[in-house]
Amino acid sequence: MKILIGKEANEFLEKLNLNVAYYETARNLEEATKKLSRFSFPMVLKLISKDALHKTEIGGVKVVKTKEGFEEAFENLREAAKIGKIKFEEVLLQEFVEGLELIVGLKKDTTFGHVVMLGLGGIYVEALHDVSFRVCPINEKDASEMINDLKAKEVILSKRKKFDVERLKKVLVKLSKIPQKMKDIAELDINPLMLSEEGTKAVDVRIIFD
Ligand code: ADP
Ligand code: MG
């Protein structure tokens, strides 16, 4: 089994021309400080480690509102790592992305083979249990149906917000074609994928191979 997170997972998506939130990585405060000028505020710092796949739970996600708050947030991550006995190896610096939080991904089902998944993300995931699946690969019409399956379709297709639904469909189609070339992909999770008027951006990515 192999697992990709952080930079490696982002690079995997970038190679497929799937948009990810702008990011840099750093191993220590000095490196991070040097790269800080490439970001505006707010920005986000994340502790990336295979020992901590749920970053929020261990205090591994910090929104940095101002330049002045940066060092303290970085130290907080180091502290969180120490408390959680997590190896401090990679910090992800990431742009703050506005949008509707969605979950998209792939799973290998024992009956159906690879399936592609779409759901509403963020705080609604567990509360609403609103997800839609299709067997891979899918076309854009299937992707439309997946959106229409959701209780949240009214939100995604909202006339007021004008989310880039065409782009979302393209992301689903593209993801659904990955297993054709990579049969050993067991799981791909983008949670959240931020959907806005401008398109989509993957904010948190995890990929597992058999
Ligand atoms: P984890 O799922 O491991 O706890 P995430 O990277 O998904 O960590 O971050 C947790 C939550 O924080 C996300 O679901 C999202 O609500 C918010 N968040 C994380 N990164 C960003 C970002 N770059 N821009 C906006 N919100 C973010
Ligand atoms: Mg997440």
Looking at the structure, tell me whether residues 168 and 105 fall in a common domain.
yes
Alpha-helical segments (H) within the chain: 6-15, 29-35, 70-83, 124-128, 140-149, 153-156, 165-181
- Looking at 43, 74, 95, the residue that finishes a domain is 95
123 and 197 both lie in a single domain: yes
- 126 and 204 housed in the same domain: yes
Domain hosting residue 181, numbered range: 100-209
6 lines ligand 1 (CB under 6 A): no
Residues 135 and 205 in one domain: yes
Judgement on whether residues 104 and 78 belong to the same structural domain of the protein: no
Are 90 and 107 contained in the same domain? no
- Distance of CA 69 from the midpoint of ligand 1 (Å): 18
Q: How many domains does the chain have?
A: 2
What is the pLDDT at residue 22?
Answer: 98
Residue 15 falls inside a structural domain? no
Q: How do beta strands 113-120 and 100-109 pair? A: antiparallel
Write out the chain's pLDDT in tens, 210 residues.
999 999 999 999 999 999 999 999 999 999 999 999 999 999 999 999 999 999 999 999 999 999 999 999 999 999 999 999 999 999 999 999 999 999 999 999 999 999 999 999 877 677 778 999 999 999 999 999 999 999 999 999 998 889 999 999 999 999 999 999 999 999 999 999 999 999 999 999 999 999
Query: Measured between alpha carbons, how far is residue 85 from residues 26, 52, 176, 179 in Å?
Result: 19, 10, 37, 35
**pTM of this structure:** 0.97
Does one domain contain both 80 and 122? no
- Nearest ligand 1 atom to the CA of 56 is 4
- State how far the alpha carbon of 48 is from the alpha carbons of 8, 53, 91, 100, 205, in Å: 11, 8, 6, 23, 11
Q: Which ligand has the nearest atom to the CA of 44?
A: 1
Ligand 2 centre distance from Cα of residue 87 (Å):
19
Ligand 1 atom closest to the CA of 96, numbered from 1: 24
**Alpha carbons 5 and 50: distance in angstroms, whole number:** 8
Question: Do 81 and 110 sit in the same domain of this protein?
Answer: no
In a domain, 42, yes or no: yes
CA 35 to ligand 1 centroid distance, Å: 20
Residue identifier of the C-alpha nearest atom 12 of ligand 1: 61
Which of 36, 86, 29 lies closest to 58, judged by CA?
86
Evaluate whether residue 10 is within a structural domain. Answer: no
Same domain, 161 and 123: yes
- Report pLDDT for 127: 74
Same domain, 62 and 118: no
Last residue of a domain, one of 67, 95, 123: 95
Specify the CATH number for the domain of residue 106: 3.30.470.20
Cβ of 97 closer than 6 Å to ligand 1, yes or no, is: yes
Indicate whether 129 and 192 sit together in one domain.
yes
| pLDDT score of 47 | 98
The helix/strand/coil state of 133 is strand
50, 75, 95 - which closes a domain: 95
Task: Tell whether 109 and 75 lie within a shared domain.
Answer: no
Whether 7 is in a domain gets the answer no
Atom of ligand 1 nearest to the CA of 21: 23
- 192 in contact with ligand 1, CB cutoff 6 A: yes
Query: Which ligand 1 atom minimizes the distance to the CA of 191?
Result: 7
Ligand 1 contact via 22 beta carbon (within 6 Å): no
Q: What is the CATH number of the domain that holds 35?
A: 3.30.1490.20
Amino acid symbol at 160: R
Ligand 1 atom, smallest distance to 97 CA: 24
The answer to the question of residue 5 being in a domain is: no
